[in-house]
Every structure is written in structure tokens, then in C-alpha cells.
Structure 1
Amino acid sequence: MSKISAGELNVIRKKGRPGDLKVALFYPSLYHVALDTLSFHMLYFYVNNRRGFIAERFNIVKKFGQEPRPYSLENKTPLKNFDVILVSVHYEPDYVNIVRFLQAGGISVFSSEREKPYIIVGGPAVISNPEPLAEIVDVFAMGDIEPILPYLLDRLLEFHDRKHQLLEALPPEKGFYVPQRGDKEVIVNKAIELPLEFHPIAQIQPAGKSPRGRKTMIEVMRGCFRECSFCLEGAIFKPKRERSYEQVRVIAETGSYLNKSRKIVLLALSYFDHSESDKILEYLVNNDFEVSVPSIRVETLNEKRLELIVAGGQKTLTIAPETADYSLSLEIGKPLLQAKIENVAFYSRKMGIKSLKLYFMIGLPGETIEHIKKIVDFVKKISEKSGYRGVRELKITVSPFVPKPHTPMQLARIEDIQTLKKKINLLKRELGGFAEIRSHDPRWSHIQAILSRGNRLLSKLLILWAKYGGGLGGWRKAIKDLNLDIRKYLTPTPDFTMPWKKIRLS
């Protein structure tokens, strides 16, 4: 048993029976990131609730460098003892951590050279474009957990010791992409509804006697109807599907007992687009839950909803204008509502919300330095009208635009690193003292763009990058050693072949 899992709540330690399949459930990032990812909990509890399976968790220990030999959190079981490695990946630069993990565990990296363990990968990043990992992964799970996971587990029980038969038993029309099979088309398999049996009520809580950090995450809605031109999640997870008020109430009530916390986090791409959002929030507030609503569209807010948010104990309001220019906002499919944002900020401050977070994208097609200056003016105007000012009260996050497959902007160019840095520095210089400015490193944005639009030639790059320990230095060295031309992924030409064309969003 590891020191971490010894103090956690709701850990499962199955003794199992001879012949049970051992599943290594791996999240390719640090421990706390895995713990904050609801889909990871979904996989953990569903697999362990199935007869014939034992699932134990893994995550990376070091962001860069040599990863230590991996042992499970539950029982310190070596990775080599598992039959299946099930991976949930949400962020393309984490691909290298999958390879680092396999190398550290002494597992053959190439699928063609490996009989076992079977490596099965799902998550938004690979649903979008699985090709950079195609030489490494045996099966990609393309779609939602609800229709895919039961079918996958049934086939694993049936063909657990016959790799070829297993791969042939996972058809592309049900959302399984097997690169070795040469699938020409794969249909993303989506859940029609969100049944309660797949949503874990008991969730793993961090070690420690204090309730700080404990919570019950509730996915109240999946998908979105807004169709922003840049949004990957909106593209691959539509249509919008709601969890009922009754389900949310059951998860909240039972979860507060099992998770030893009254804190509820309501997860959705745009919470108030749920048809029963007010009813859910009123119930939680009236029953003394602490509530966090992290994702809100500003056009869905009004005074009543702000009052409910404050009554639920939320101290920070997050709004994502993306840009301060109206024409650019129309281009990305998310119209700028400047007056609305100013009014919401004013009333938020008046009602007792302590801080305001604003998210902006830079490097959008057609953007100039003048557009960045508009962000400066916009933030200063909001500060003046609302009273939010200083690093504790006004927080700005700036992220370079990264084009994503399956979106209307999938073939847009990503702006060069120096120009992005210049824009970030301008914002930091002009808004210093007004707000805390956090920015995503443009070098990592370029890596994300390359992997988002990459083909299976990048598998060799990932393997060499992992050998060099990941990180920016390892990335540069791997590209140099392979003499790889990455410009075609950053600025696609008209004859660019989209590796994700075989993925059909149902």
C-alpha cells in the first residue's frame, strides 16, 4: 500500500479471484490532476464494480526527467503485473508521459512488438486525433464511457489472452479504432443519456483529517449547443445531454456522506444552459451545501443567479470573453457582450464575490497588437466600473489560440512564438498593478498544435522525446535528431492531409 492511498477516502482494494483481469488505470499527469478529473473516477469505480476485474491507479511522479519505476497507488503492484493499461488523456502534451510511463515500467512501447499488456486509450485529445499515438496504442476508445466501457470489458473477458481476436472483436462502428487493423472510418460512440450507474457517488478524496480539498464532483450536463468555432469539447461532445434534477440530488446527498464533505462542484461546459440549473442550485443552497460553478456563460447570468452563486459560498466568478474586439468575437462564434460583462462584474462585487477571473485567447486569426491594446482598455474599464483591482481581486489568464481538429478553425495557422510573447509582455506591462496576469507558455501551445494535427510519424518523435525526459529541451533535441519539419503542422498548406478525416462524429 502506498503512503498516498493509505490516507485516502473511498479507495477500493479488491482481493479478487484467480483469473481476474488486472487493469492499470493510468492518468498521464500528476496525482492531484488525476484526482480532480471526474472521468478518471468514473473508470475506476465502474471497472472495479465489474466481476472479473481489479483496477488500480497510476499517475506520473515527475513532470520531466527519468520517471521512477511505476507501482500502483493501492497495493504497490508493479506495472508489469497488469493485463491491461487503460489511459484517459485530456491534453496532447501529456502523450509523452504515456511513453515515459511505459519505458519506466519496462513495457515495450510499440504495439507491434507487444503481446501484453493491452494498451487502451480514450479521452478528448485522442477522440479528436489519435494518429500521433497510433504506433504505440492497441485500441483507441472513441466516444463516451457509457456505451463503450461495458462492451470493452465484455470483450476483454472473452478474449483476454488472444490479442488478435480481441482487436478484431472491437468494431470501428462501435467507437473502437485499432490502428493495426487499418480502419478507414471510425464512428464516435456517444451516450444517448447519462445513466446514474456510471456516475460515481463515492469519489476518492485526498489524504488528511481536514475536509479541505474534499468535494463531490457532479457532471450535470455533457455537450453544448453554442458551437464556438475554436472549441474542441463543444465539437466532439455534442449534442447537449442533461443529468436530471433527481439524479443530481441523489449524488449530492449521498456523496456528502460518503465523501465527508458538503462541497459540490457542478461540471458542465456552460452550467446555466441546463434546463433545471436554477432548481438544482436553489436546492443545494437551501440545504446548506457549499457550491462551486466553474463554467458559466456571461449571457446566462442575472441578479438572481448571482445571488444563488454567492449564497452557495463561491468567492470567485470566472468569465471567458476570449477577445475584447467585437469583430474577432464574431469570427470565433462567441459574440462579445461588453456591457453585459461590465454589469455582471459590477453586481458580483456588490453582492460579495471577492474576485473576478477573465480568460482571453491571443493569436487569433486576423489579430494585431491593436486588438491586444483593446484587452488592456477592456480590463481597465471593468476594473473602474466594478471596483475589482489588484492581484487578489482581478485575475487575467491569457492562452495562445491552438487550432483543433473537427472545429471550423481546424486548419488555421498558429501564431509564431515571438509574436505571442510580445503580446503577453504587453499585457503584463500595461496591466501590472491592475491585475494578476497568468499566461500559458507559447512554446507549449506550439507543441499542443503540432500534436493536435499530427500524423503517426510523430510516434517516433514521442518515443525519442520521452527518452530525453520530456520538457521543452527534450522536445527540441528530439526534433533536431529526427530532422523533422514541423512547419506543416503549424501552418498547414492547402494540400495538407488531415489525419483525423477517418474519425466520424456521430
Structure 2
Amino acid sequence: MEHFIYRYKKDKILLQTVFIYPNTYFIGMSSLGFQFAYHKINENPEILCERAFLDSRRENNFVTIESNRNITEFPILFFSISYEPDLLNMIYILKTSGIELLKEKRKKHIIIVGGIAVPLLKNYLKFIADVIVCSPAEYAFKKIIPVLLECKDKDIILDKLQNIHGIYVSEKIKNDELKYYQPEGSCEIAHSAIISEDTEFSSRALIEISKGCLFRCRFCLVSNMYGRYIAHPKSEILKIAEKYKGKTNRIGLIAATLSNHPNFKEIIKELNKMNFILSFSAFRIEGLDNELLELILKNENKTLVIAPETGSERLKRLINKNISESTIINITERAFRLGLKRLKLYFMVGFPGEDVSDLDAIIKLVRKLREISLEHSKNLHYIPEFIIDINPLVPKPFTEFQGYPFEEIKILKEKIIYLKKNLRKLGRTFVYGESPKSAFLQYRLSHGLIDFEEVLRLVEETREN
């Protein structure tokens, strides 16, 4: 079931568009970027925008959620790509629908593509997309929509868009990298336009409280690509929350590092006064004092999410994430004392120079945390759950690690098996993570190591299997 936050008034529809997320409804509607972009298009009373997903298929047709119409009926197709492998899904959707894949042969439709993974996929999208967006949704659509409404001729539309910062017409792209463009000044706050039960954040409204990241972890795409950090004003965040009254009593706060917002405590307190129960994305653990821990844990699920990435002090220095083991232990111990029920930890494997001693450092850290949790479980009358997420390092363009190789899949598998075997012995510890094979595909696509013809073959092989 879906609950729409906005009523989009459509007096006279001059243009009909479809916004396609090339993955499942569950994943697409869990994406705040996709939801906010959909909202920004539909704000215009002269444009109708419907949604389609990888699983909104009827026989050989992909159809929209809103009206069950075939996506081929819409002259403008927007795509949002958050993960490199979704490129394969995008190609599959177009080919299955009978829409011409190559932009120079396509006459009937205009394809506009945006999303965080887009700058990494330039070598493939330049053959498919007419327009590639590398800028915030509110800025991009303010520039694109007037042109789409004014002009009907495809060549004229592309000509008018080609000189706008952060918007690239594919046929004009040179060999240099696509660069993300963040306009000067403040930016709008991304937030849920639709509340859906069938998402990662079931029946929650999401609000982004800051954009970018203050820290420069050397492997991280967000901090290296998005540029400056922007903390959204508390008053504007609370104003958006007002829209959700009567629709849901649950809000998820989203940011790369929530606790670095200068008014984070006040935001939590004010939202709780408005009778919202909060959930949180992730924290830099060194920013969690006693008061903030209490505020977090009195909200939904008593869950704390942190990303040490490694247990090795040497590797922490390498990746520029210098959070000491004693800091992690001290803060999580305080959290257990306050009633923490679930601890989620993110780690990575495959760092340059990593060996078994670095893996043992992860096991040692988690074991210490488990021992502390067991000490407090006597008073709490339950054993806290540990969720460990282990993912292979994908050295990405735009990061300081872009020149490093991807570790051999066989070695990565051995490392992950070693960690799983030892961590699962700790009791109520659940270990998950992305497969090395999938991560390697990300690496190859983001670095343009697969030629376009091979990508097309991969699409066919993936669907056959």
C-alpha cells in the first residue's frame, strides 16, 4: 500500500513521462534519490510522470505502477541508476520493450539518465542515453523541464541542454570525466514523496538532514565526488516532518554521518515531541556522547549502526578512518548499558596489503564487543543481536583508491569464509555481505574495463541464467 504525501494538481498535461528505476520496486522505492526526483518532476502541473520498475512487467511489456501503461507510450524516459549493475537491467528493459538501444538510431524516445552511479558508467551510457544528469534533482529538473515543454524536436531539445552545468548531452561528451556539479548556496532537502510498506524502511518517511560528508575516507565515493558538506537547517527539516503527520508516525533520518549535523540532538528532540518514532542510517561513532546515545536508543528498535570498516589500526590509517578500538569499545559499552538490542557493523575486505592479521583484528574487535554485550545481558534479560556486513573493497573512480587493483575473487572468497566461520561462533551473530563476483562486476563497469559489446552479451547471459 502507498500513501502519497503530495496531491499533484494537473490542470493541463502537455507532456507525459515515465521514471524508471532499473531494479525491483522494493529497492527503487527504498531510494530517497529516486523518490525525490519523481516528486520534483511531478511538481510541474503540466507534466505527468509515472513510475516503472524491473518487476513491473506484464508478459513482454514493462508497465507503469500508476496506470498499467506500456513504457513505450511515453516520449520521455527518465532512468535513475544507483548501482553499476543496474546498467544491465536498464539495457534489458529497453531491449525487451522494443525501444531502440542506441541513441543515434532512436527517433521516437528521449532517454535522460541520472543517479550516483552515472559518472562511473560514462563509457556505456554515452551509447544509450541522450542526456546524462550529474547534478542535484531540484537543480537539474528546473533546467530540463522548461526545455522539454517548450520544444518538441529532439535535436532542438538536445541543443538547448548542451551548455548547462551538470547536464551532459551524450553526443557532445569529450574524453574527460563527467563531473558532479553542486550549485552554490543551499539545496533542497530530499524527502519521501510516497510512503510504502514494501521498502527497506517499511512505512517510514525518509528525510535527508545533510548532504555530502565532512570526512575524506579514501575509498568513499560520496565524500570524494559530492564536494562540500551541507547541513540542512533544522527549521526546514521540521517543516517537512509536519507533512507526514497523519500519514505515518515513523521517520528515518538519512545522512552519510548523521551525528555531525550541528543541530542533530535538537532535531531528534523536536521530532519526538511531534510524536515521531525515529530510525537512523549511520553514525561516526566518535560523535556519540551519552545524551545522544540515550536519544538514539529510546527510538525505534534500539539499534546502533556503525562502520569501522576494519579492525586493523594499520588499515585505518591507510583508508583515513582513524577511529581507535578503545573509542569503539567505550561507546558501544555505554550503548549496551543503555539497553542496545541490535548492533550492526560494516566491514570491508580486500584493502591493499591486507593479510590474515587484519582479518583477525576484525574478529578480535567483534569478540570484545560480544563479551561486553554478554556482561550487560544479565541485567537486560536478553542477548543483543549482532549483524555483521562484510563487503569487498571496490576501488572506484573519483576516489583516492581508484588506482588500486581489485583483489582476486578466489582470495576474497577465502577471506569472507574465514571471517564468517569465526564470527558466527560468537552466538546471535549474523554475517552478510555482497559476493566478490558482484563486486568485481562493479569494479569492471566503473573503470570501463568491459567493452560495450561484452556488456550486451552479459545482459543476455544474466537473463538466460
TM-score scaled by length of structure 1:
0.84
Contact 2:36–2:192 under 8 Å retained in 1: no
> How many pairs align?
456
* Structure 1 residue 172: Cα displacement: 4.9
Letter aligned with residue 221 of structure 2: L
Between 1:440-449 and 1:461-470, the stretch displaced more is: 461-470
* Structure 1 residue 201: Cα displacement: 5.9
What is the correspondence of 1:50-65 to structure 2 with a 5 Å cutoff? 50-61=44-55
Between 1:11-20 and 1:111-120, the stretch displaced more is: 11-20
1:325 aligned onto 2:319: no
Contact 1:72–1:78 under 8 Å retained in 2: yes
What is the aligned partner in structure 2 of residue 249 from structure 1? 238
What is the aligned partner in structure 2 of residue 454 from structure 1? 448
Q: Secondary structure at the match of 2:127?
A: coil
Contact 2:284–2:306 under 8 Å retained in 1: yes
* Structure 1 residue 269: Cα displacement: 0.3
What is the aligned partner in structure 1 of residue 431 from structure 2? 437
What is the aligned partner in structure 2 of residue 476 from structure 1? none
Contact 2:406–2:443 under 8 Å retained in 1: yes
Between 1:277-286 and 1:390-399, the stretch displaced more is: 390-399
| Structure 1: distance between partners of 2:333 and 2:278 | 21
| Structure 2: distance between partners of 1:337 and 1:116 | 57
What is the aligned partner in structure 1 of residue 18 from structure 2? 24
Structure 1 residues 264 and 128: alpha-carbon distance in aligned structure 2, compared to 1, 3 A threshold: same
Q: Secondary structure at the match of 1:213?
A: coil
What is the aligned partner in structure 2 of residue 229 from structure 1? 218
| Structure 1: distance between partners of 2:40 and 2:447 | 32
RMSD (Å) for aligned C-alpha atoms:
2.5
1:464 aligned onto 2:457: yes
| 1:274 aligned to which of 248, 261, 265 | 261
Q: Secondary structure at the match of 1:188?
A: coil
CA deviation map 1:416-439 (0-9, x unaligned): 011001101111111223121112
TM-score scaled by length of structure 2:
0.92
What is the correspondence of 1:46-445 to structure 2 with a 5 Å cutoff? 46-61=40-55, 68-159=60-151, 161-183=152-174, 186-196=178-188, 199-200=190-191, 202-206=193-197, 213-257=202-246, 260-387=247-374, 393-434=385-426, 435-445=429-439
Q: Secondary structure at the match of 1:431?
A: helix
* Structure 1 residue 45: Cα displacement: 1.7
Q: Secondary structure at the match of 1:430?
A: helix
Q: Secondary structure at the match of 1:174?
A: coil
| Structure 1: distance between partners of 2:333 and 2:383 | 18
Letter aligned with residue 409 of structure 1: F
Contact 2:132–2:169 under 8 Å retained in 1: yes
Letter aligned with residue 457 of structure 2: L
Q: Secondary structure at the match of 1:334?
A: coil
| Structure 2: distance between partners of 1:228 and 1:276 | 23
Residue segments in structure 2 that go unaligned for 5+ positions in a row? none
Contact 1:202–1:255 under 8 Å retained in 2: no
* Structure 1 residue 406: Cα displacement: 0.8
Letter aligned with residue 214 of structure 1: S
| Structure 1: distance between partners of 2:92 and 2:105 | 17
Q: Secondary structure at the match of 1:119?
A: strand
Letter aligned with residue 38 of structure 1: L
Structure 1 residues 310 and 12: alpha-carbon distance in aligned structure 2, compared to 1, 3 A threshold: closer
Residue segments in structure 1 that go unaligned for 5+ positions in a row? 1-6, 474-506
Quote the sequence identity (%): 29
CA deviation map 1:255-313 (0-9, x unaligned): 133xx211111110000111111110121223331111111011111111100001223
* Structure 1 residue 381: Cα displacement: 1.3
Q: Secondary structure at the match of 1:379?
A: helix
Q: Secondary structure at the match of 2:332?
A: helix
Between 1:262-271 and 1:305-314, the stretch displaced more is: 305-314
* Structure 1 residue 405: Cα displacement: 0.8
Structure 1 residues 367 and 195: alpha-carbon distance in aligned structure 2, compared to 1, 3 A threshold: closer
